Amino acid sequence: MTCASRPGPDALAAALSQLRARFGERLAGGEAVRRQHGNQLSEVPNEPPDAVLFPQTTDEVADAVRIGAKHRIPIIPFGVGSSFEGHINAPFGGLSIDTSRMKRIVAVRVDDLDCTVCRPVLSDRSRRRCFARRHGRDPRLRYQRGPLRHNAG
């Protein structure tokens, strides 16, 4: 069994080069954004990733993970940054994948009162879209709290 370790400088440079070619400016390497993505709400010291990616689709996430796997670069998923236990820290460097720009509503099924959305789409936005697709207000949706249904899409 091998222990985790930082990727070698050649592997990291190759991965970042491929990611930059694929994603352009949506791959961030600045100190401030990296520290933000290595920070959590606990007393665990900040351990920032080597870069932060802002994908817009699940296909882009898959591409980034493939590139990371090819070069053995750690992948750190980043939701809203509310980790209390160091989940977003990158002790071995790597790529933080921030899904905050994945705000697509994939499907609205008004008859089933169901929506498929990318993760950060808020339930109020989903509800408004469902109302807009229906010609009038549906009292069954009015009192529903929380996400209608959050699936990766």
Q: What is the pTM of this model?
A: 0.70
Task: Give the Cα separation of 42 and 88 in Å (integer).
Answer: 11
| Same domain assignment for residues 79 and 111 | no
| Same domain assignment for residues 47 and 117 | no
| Same domain assignment for residues 84 and 128 | no
| Same domain assignment for residues 114 and 84 | no
Q: What is the mean pLDDT of residues 59-71?
A: 95
The mean pLDDT value of the chain amounts to: 78
- How confident is the model over 85-140, as pLDDT tens digits? 667 888 899 999 998 888 777 778 878 777 776 665 555 555 565 555 554 554 44
Q: What is the mean pLDDT of residues 45-60?
A: 92
149 domain residue, yes or no? no
| Same domain assignment for residues 63 and 110 | no
| Same domain assignment for residues 95 and 129 | no
| Same domain assignment for residues 96 and 111 | no
Residues 11 and 93: beta-carbon distance below 8 Å: no
Reduce the DSSP state of residue 139 to 3 states and report it.
helix
Domain of 93: which CATH number? 3.30.43.10
Angle at 77 between CA 53 and CA 62, to 5 degrees: 65
Residues 49 and 93: beta-carbon distance below 8 Å: yes
Cα separations (Å) of 55 from 18, 33, 51, 58, 72?
A: 14, 15, 13, 8, 20
Residue 61, domain extent: 9-101
| Same domain assignment for residues 92 and 110 | no
| Same domain assignment for residues 88 and 119 | no
| Same domain assignment for residues 77 and 109 | no
2 domain residue, yes or no? no
Task: Give the Cα separation of 34 and 113 in Å (integer).
Answer: 39
Task: Give the Cα separation of 137 and 143 in Å (integer).
Answer: 12
Q: Residue 145: pLDDT above 70?
A: no
Q: Residue 20: pLDDT above 60?
A: yes
Q: How many domains does the chain have?
A: 2
| Same domain assignment for residues 61 and 81 | yes
Task: Give the Cα separation of 115 and 106 in Å (integer).
Answer: 8
1 domain residue, yes or no? no
20 domain residue, yes or no? yes
